[in-house]
Structures are given as structure tokens and as C-alpha cells.
Chain A
Amino acid sequence: MEMKFEKSLANWFRNAREKHRSWLTAFYIFLGLTVVLNIFIRPHHPHFVYDYLPGFFAVFGLVAAIILGRVSKGTAHTFLGKDEDYYERD
């Protein structure tokens, strides 16, 4: 039973990977939908100054992710990253 379930799950994922284009389109539609809905659904008590604006958290999420990715990778490349045997060497 368990094996069968695992096999069909594996096949489902294999198929899904082949159709990644359609998944990507669905994802963009989903993103658009969250912003459109945001025009009608707003916070009752905004915490920060601008979060009553529709799409505030879309911008926040995207910008934060890019800043984090860029800054952390940049730091790793300039001075934090070392070879894996760094501490084993004398």
C-alpha cells in the first residue's frame, strides 16, 4: 500500500516537472490575484505607515527577498565563505 502510494506520488511529481511552464503561469495568475483582492481587502489596523496601500506586502516580500539574497551572497563571496577544510588546515 505504502509503496503504491509512493510510486503514484513520484509519477505525479515527474509529470508536474515536465509541465513546469503551466505551473509558472498558474503562479503568476495567483500573484496577480493576491494584489487584485488586496484592493478590496485591507487591514483594519495598519501597523506600518504604508501597509494600507494595496500591494504593500507584495513589494515588501519581493524587495526583502532580493536584498537578503544579494547581501548574504555578497558577504559570503567577499569574506565569510571559506574552503570546506578551512578549520582542518594548520
Chain B
Amino acid sequence: MSVINGFFHPSLYFIVTAVVLLAWRGQNTSWRFLLPVPGILAFLTILNMESGTFSQLNYLGLTLTLGRVDALAIVFAHVFALQALIGFIYAWHVQDKAQHAAASMYIAGAFGCLFAGDYLTLFIFWELMSVSSTFLVWLNRQPESTGAGFRYFLFHTLGGLFLLAGLLLRYSHLGTFAFTAIDPATAAYYDYLILTGFAVNAAVIPLHAWLPDAYPRATVTGAVFMSAFTTKTAVYVLARGFAGFEILAIMGVLMTLYGVFYATIENNIRRILAYHIVSQVGFMVAGIGIGTAMTINGACAHAYAHIVYKGLLFMGAGCVLYAAGTAKLTELGGLISRIPLVFFGYIIGAISISGFPAFSGFVSKTMTIEGAAAAHHYWLALGMEFAAVGTFLSVGLKLSYFAFFAKPESEKPLKPIPFNMYVAMGAASLICFVLGVYPKPLYDLLPYPVDFEPYSAWTVLMTLQLMGFVGLGFYLLRHKLKPEAKINLDFDYFYRLGGAFSLAIARKPIEVVDNWWSEIYARVGLRVLMLLAWMSSVFDKVAIDGVVDGSATNVQRGGGGLSNVQTGRLQDYLAFAIVIGIGVFALVWFRT
């Protein structure tokens, strides 16, 4: 099994946690002591992990590799484990076990993708992530979450189908599922299909709109998990397979700009942060696209720093939403002396993402921008510098000013914030600071040797000057930038158009065919069926009942059980399918 050879798959901790949570019965809530456990165990496992290929299993004549370990996988796994721990501390007070189980399965999927050595294994865990994260949206149990969850799920299914088509076509041409780097010069159409699948999860524009659509509608704690894993898993697979693809360099820089553009006009604080994921992932995608050792290092370092500070920002925004009951800037303001600790945590995240010296964004973002300039991509470097300005303007200044200042002290009734939320924010703040002043442990984790020193008198002065004058710009524009109770059109407009179109098709032609068929069925089919039923009932009475007495009652009971399962809600079917899928998968794993 997998423990032999010194590799234990971290996904197993999370799968076991999810199963235990789902199987737990009774009112007793001591299950919550389980929540930090998988994160801690995964972290310890990853600290002691050695490079190599483990846990290969033969399945239907194919070799699936569940444990390919190297430096690139470890840097992501390291921060995934850390964020899993922080996220579960933040979610400690949540009574709804289903949310924890969904988050756990989601993280299991993310780890599975990191260590997948072939496209088939990757695909399985990729879909596991997509399904379980959909539940983090649905379990918010708001009417708007249901719709957003469906759009999220459908779009990820589409992305998954691109990936599946690409990997199958690739197999038919090359005869291998091996997941290795693809040379941009020889990439074929099937490689681009895979790239499109990855780009959906990396929120590459214009395939990004699921992100600002779904994340603001997820549960308070679910959004913290989602901000970390989906896009960063995609960054990881892009770094593994598609480093040096020029298109990614350009799209990445466009993403950085697109995200800050929308963040500047949005009203919902969680949507502002969601657009900033698009923007920040843009830095990573650009680094991967440029493809030098320095920019790939920069992308990985930025992913590491980003997971922690974006989690922190989502935790801060989540606390505001939890306490005030709204995430709209127009309804917030003047909260500074009401929830000062939340502001404190949020602002640490905000100056980290803006790349202030002594905080984590500074040691990772500068690496990518410097790397772009060193590779003579001056326009890309300038674009990213512009995006850095927008980041500080929208997340650092606009959001914090209009949520915490802008109005006299708020009189709004606030729900008290659970202590565990503060603990998680404190831990994340500490990590942001420690990485900022002492980046060496992070640099040592990176896939290539690092020859880069972020701190010099010039870089610190330049950053302070740049950010200072952005502050001045904000001060001058502060009335102009006042948030408005509006939503802004984005590419999800077109997705919804597609949805309305298929609904129209379903209503008109398909319904006509369906009615017609029902008619035939009622007239002809039913007669035949009745005849058959009569014949079998005769057979039943004469032959069967004499032999197996009581079988009819059993069938009836089984039918009752099945009808419980068939609730007619797609959510339930999905959950059920996942449980069965995991069961089958686990059986196969333990048998080999």
C-alpha cells in the first residue's frame, strides 16, 4: 500500500476526516476537535517527504501515479497544508458538519492534483475538487447561492470536459498519459485543449467569470478555502505543463489589470477580493508564461504568499459579513473602532497583497516583476507595476476606507465574532510578516536555486514612494471612488445568455418531442406494458410465490429505501455520486 516506500498521500487524511464527519451521529459536537488534525498531519508528512515516484497502481491496464513528489509539488503542498489548518481553525465554530466535510474533500482533491503523475489521476482529483467546492457555495443556503453554485458547477464541468478531451486525444496520438512539461514549439491542438481546461480553473480571462460570480456567494468560511485551492492548483498544473507559453505571459498581465479594474468599481467586499484573485493569479500566470527560472520561482513564491494573505483578506471580509450581516460597502463604513482587531488583520493582508516592505507580497511580487524585466519583457513588467498600483488602490485603500472609515462611528448592531476567527487571522498575519522579513525558508522551497535579494535601499524606497503617491491619488479621488449599490456586467453575462438559450431549446423543441413521445407511449407502450404485466403476474402467482415466499414484501421495502435516495434534487444526486465514487476509488486503491 501507499505507506510503504516512505510516502503517505496527504489526501487520505482529508478523505478520512470527511468520512468520519459524515458518519458522525448524535448531538455531541466533539467532532470539531478533528478539524485541525488533517492539516497538522499533512504538514508533518510534507516536511518529511522525499522526492520520487510512489503509489503507482495498475487500473484497467493503465498505470496511475498518485504520488509524484518533487520540489514544485512540495512548495504548493506545503502552503496547502498550512492553509487547510488555518481555514479549519477559522471555521471551528461552524455547526454544519456538511460544510466541513465538503471543505475536507475539496482539499483532498487539491492534494491529489499536486501529486498526480499522470493526466488521468489529475482528472479524477480535478473533478473531486470541482464537485466538493460547489457544495461550499450551495451550503450557504441563500437563494442566490443555489443559482451561483449551478453556474459554477456547469462552468467547471465544461473546463473538465476540455481537459478530458485533451488528455484522451493526447493519449490516442502519443500513447501516454504522463503529465510532464510540454514544449511550446511542438504543442499540438490537444495540448491546447488541456491548456484551456487548466485556464478555466486559473480564471484566465475571459474564462474567469465563475470566480467573482460564485465566491461572494459561498459560505463565510467556504470562501476562505476556495480562495486558496482552485486557482492555485491550476497555477501549479500550468507551471508543470505549460511553462514558457508566450500566450500565458500576455494573458497573465491582462488578468492583473482586468482584476484591479473591476475591483475599483465593485461594491461587494468579497467580490472585490474575488477580482483580486484574478489579478494576483495573473502575476503567477505571467511568470509561468515568461518561463525563466526566476519568473517560475516568482510564480511559486507568489502562490505561496498569496494563499496566506488572500486567505487573511477573505477571513477579514468574512468577519465583517458575519458581524454586520452585509458585504456591501454602501451599507458599511465607520466600523474601525467597533471591530478594530478585524481591521488590524485585514490591513496586514492588504499591505501584504500590495507588496509593502516587511510583508510577504514584497518578497514574491518583486521577484516576478524583476524576472520579467530581466527577461527583457519591459512592457509586461510595466503592466504588472500598474496592476500593483491598482491593487493597493482598491484592496488596500478603497475597501478599507469605505468599510472601516468614511462615515462616523457605525451604530449598526454587530454579531460578536467567535474567538477562533481571530486566532486564524492572527496566525495568517504572523505568517505574512515572518515571510516578509525572513523570506529564506520560502526561497529554499522554490523549484530553482534563488539568486535574488528583494531588499535594497532602492527597492524599499521605490515601493514606499509608489504606494505613498497612490495614497495621494486615492485621497484626491476619494469622493469620485465612492461605492455605488450596483452590479457590474462581466463575462458571466454571456454564460447566462447561453443558459437562457438552452432553456429556450429545452422549452420548445425538446418539450414538443417529449410530449409527442409521451403520447405514443401512453397509447402503444402502455398497452404492451399492461399485457406484459398481466402475463408476468400470472407467472408470478403460479410459479414464483410458491417458491420464494415474501419476496414481494422485500422488494417493496427496497423500493421505499430507494425512493428516499431519489429526492429529485440535483445537489443530493451529486453528493451521492461522489460518495459512491470515493468508495469505488478507495476499494480499488486498497486492493492494489
Residues of chain A at the chain B interface (Cβ within 8 Å): 2, 5-6, 9-14, 17, 27, 30-31, 34-35, 37-38, 41-44, 47-48, 55, 57-66, 68-73, 75-76, 79-84, 86-87
Knowing A2-B422, A65-B477, A73-B481, the reply to whether A48 touches B382 (Cβ < 8 A) is yes
Most B C-beta atoms less than 10 A away, residue of A38, A65, A80: A65
User: CA A20 – CA B592 in complex, angstroms?
Assistant: 68
| Interface pair B337/A10, CB less than 8 Å apart | yes
User: Which chain B residue shows the least CB distance to A10?
Assistant: B337
B393 touches A69 (CB 8 A): yes
| B578 at the binding interface (Cβ < 8 Å) | no
A30 CA to B472 CA, complexed, in Å: 11
Cβ B337 vs Cβ A62 within 8 A: no
Q: Which residue in A5, A34, A69, A79 is a CB contact (below 8 Å) of B480?
A: A69
Known contacts A13-B337, A14-B409, A43 near B462 by CB under 8 Å:
yes
Chain A nearest Cβ from B408, distance in angstroms: 9
CA distance A72 to B265 in the complex (A): 6
- The answer for the CA separation of A62 and B87 in the assembled complex, in Å, is 37
B390 partner residues in chain A, CB cutoff 8 A: 64-65, 68
Is the Cβ of B470 less than 8 Å from the Cβ of A17?
Answer: no
Kindly state whether residue B465 has any CB partner on chain A within 8 Å. Answer: yes
Asked if B488 CB lies within 8 Å of chain A CBs, one says yes
Closest to A81 in B: B486
Which residues of chain B come closer than 8 Å to A34, judged between CB atoms? 461, 464-465, 468
Q: How far is the CA of A83 from the CA of B466 in the complex (A)?
A: 35
**Which of A6, A11, A68 lies at the interface centre, i.e. has the most chain B CB atoms within 10 A of its CB?**
A68
Residues of A within 8 A of B484 (CB): 76, 81
* 5 contacts across the A-B interface (CB closer than 8 A): A2-B419, A12-B340, A13-B337, A57-B462, A87-B496
Contacts of A73 in B (CB 8 A): 264-265, 480-481
**How far apart are A55's CB and chain B's nearest CB, in angstroms?**
8
In the complex, A84→B327 CA distance in Å? 13
Residue ID in chain A nearest B372 by CB atoms: A47
Chain B residues at the A interface, C-beta cutoff of 8 Å: 260-262, 264-265, 336-338, 340-341, 343-344, 373, 378, 381-382, 385-386, 389-390, 393, 405, 409, 419, 422, 457-458, 461-462, 464-474, 476-477, 480-481, 484-489, 496
Among A11, A57, A80, the residue within 8 A (CB) of B469 is: A57
The residue among A61, A69, A71 with the most chain B CB atoms within 10 A of its own CB is A61
- Would A80 and B488 count as touching, CB distance under 8 A? yes
**Contact (Cβ within 8 A) B378 A48:** yes
Distance in Å from the Cβ of A82 to the closest Cβ of chain B? 6
Instruction: Assess the B472–A57 pair: CB atoms within 8 A.
Output: no
A14–B264 CB distance below 8 A: no
- Complex CA–CA separation, A68 to B405 (angstroms): 22
Number of A-B contacts (CB under 8 A): 150
Residues of A contacting B389 in the complex (Cβ-Cβ under 8 angstroms): 60-61, 64-65, 68
Closest-by-CB residue of A relative to B265 is: A76
Measured in the bound complex, the distance between the Cα atoms of B376 and A48 in whole Å is 10
Contacts of A65 in B (CB 8 A): 389-390, 393, 469-470, 472-474, 477
Bound-state CA distance A84–B484 (Å) is 10
Q: In the complex where A2-B419, A43-B458 touch, is A84 in contact with B472 (Cβ < 8 A)?
A: no
Question: Cα distance A87–B489 when bound, in Å?
Answer: 10
Q: Are B466 and A57 in contact (CB under 8 A)?
A: yes
Whether A61 and B382, one on each chain, are in contact in the complex, defined by CB atoms closer than 8 angstroms, is no
CB B214 to nearest CB in A, in angstroms, measures 14
Which residues does chain B contribute within 8 Å of A5, judged by CB atoms? 341
CB distance A69 to B473 under 8 Å?
Answer: yes
Is there contact, CB below 8 Å, between B260 and A68? yes
A80's nearest neighbour on chain B, judged by CB, is: B488
By a CB distance below 8 angstroms, the chain A residues around B382 are 47-48
Residues of A within 8 A of B409 (CB): 14
Q: Are A41 and B422 in contact (CB under 8 A)?
A: no
Whether the Cβ atoms of B468 and A37 lie closer than 8 Å is no
Whether B469 and A62, one on each chain, are in contact in the complex, defined by CB atoms closer than 8 angstroms, is yes
Whether the Cβ atoms of A9 and B468 lie closer than 8 Å is: no
A79 touches B457 (CB 8 A): no
Rounded to whole Å, the gap between the CB of A27 and the closest CB of chain B is 7
- Give A71 to B483 CA distance when docked, in angstroms: 15
In the assembled complex, the Cα of A37 lies from the Cα of B516 at a distance in Å of 82
Instruction: Check A57–B458 contact: CB distance below 8 A.
Output: no
Nearest chain-A residue to B468 (Cβ)? A31
The residue among A11, A43, A62 with the most chain B CB atoms within 10 A of its own CB is A62
Complex Cα distance, B343 from A12, in Å, reads: 13
Q: How far is the CA of A65 from the CA of B473 in the complex (A)?
A: 6
Given contacts A6-B340, A72-B261, contact A61 B468 (CB under 8 A): yes
Chain A hits for B467, CB < 8 A? 61
Partner of A82, one of B405, B422, B488, B496: B488
Cα–Cα, bound, A70→B474 (Å)? 11
B468 — which chain A residues lie within 8 A by C-beta? 27, 30-31, 34, 58, 61
Contacts A41-B457, A68-B264 given; does A81 touch B466 at CB 8 Å: no
User: A43-B462, A57-B465, A75-B265 given as contacts; is B487 within 8 A of A82 (CB)?
Assistant: yes
Find chain A residues with CB under 8 A from B422 CB: 2
Which residue in chain A gives the minimum CB-CB distance to B398? A69
The reply to whether B489 and A82 contact each other, CB–CB distance below 8 Å, is yes
Expressed in whole angstroms, the minimum distance between the Cβ of B56 and any Cβ of chain A is 46
A43-B461 Cα distance, complex, nearest whole Å: 10
* Cβ-defined contact, A62 with B488, below 8 A: no
Find out whether the CB atom of A41 lies under 8 angstroms from the CB atom of B461.
yes
The answer to whether B485 and A62 have CB atoms under 8 Å apart is no
**A69 touching B481, Cβ below 8 Å:** yes
The answer for the CA separation of A11 and B378 in the assembled complex, in Å, is 47
Give complex CA distance A55, B469 in Å. 10
Least CB distance from A49 to B in Å reads 9
Distance in Å: Cβ of B587 to nearest Cβ of chain A = 43
Query: Are B466 and A61 touching (Cβ within 8 A)?
Result: yes
Once the chains bind, are B488 and A76 in contact (CB under 8 Å)? yes
In the assembled complex, the CB of B491 is this many whole angstroms from the nearest CB of chain A, namely: 12
Residue from B373, B476, B489 in contact with A79 in the complex, judged by beta carbons closer than 8 Å: B489
With known contacts A64-B390, A69-B264, A82-B487, A31–B472 Cβ distance under 8 A:
yes
